[in-house]
Amino acid sequence: MKLKEDSQLNEISKKFSEAIKKYTKKEYKEAAADFGKIIDEYKESDFYSVLEIQTKSKSYKNICDQRATKKKIESDTEDEILNELLFSINIDDVKESEKIIKKLEAKKINSSYSIYLKALFAFSQEDIDAGLGLLKKAIDKDEKYKIIANNEPDLQDLQENEEFLTIIE
Q: Got the DSSP string for 90-149? A: HTT-HHHHHHHHHHHHHTT---HHHHHHHHHHHHHTT-HHHHHHHHHHHHHH-THHHHHH
The whole-model pTM stands at 0.63
What are 76-131's pLDDT values in tens digits? 788 888 888 888 888 888 999 999 999 999 999 899 999 999 999 999 999 999 99
d(CA 61, CA 58): 5
Three-state secondary structure call for residue 80: helix
Domain boundaries, the chain: 1-69, 91-169
Average pLDDT estimate for 2-22: 86
User: So what's the pLDDT on residue 70?
Assistant: 61
d(CA 148, CA 65): 24
User: So what's the pLDDT on residue 75?
Assistant: 62
The region of weakest confidence among 40-49, 113-122, 158-167 is: 40-49
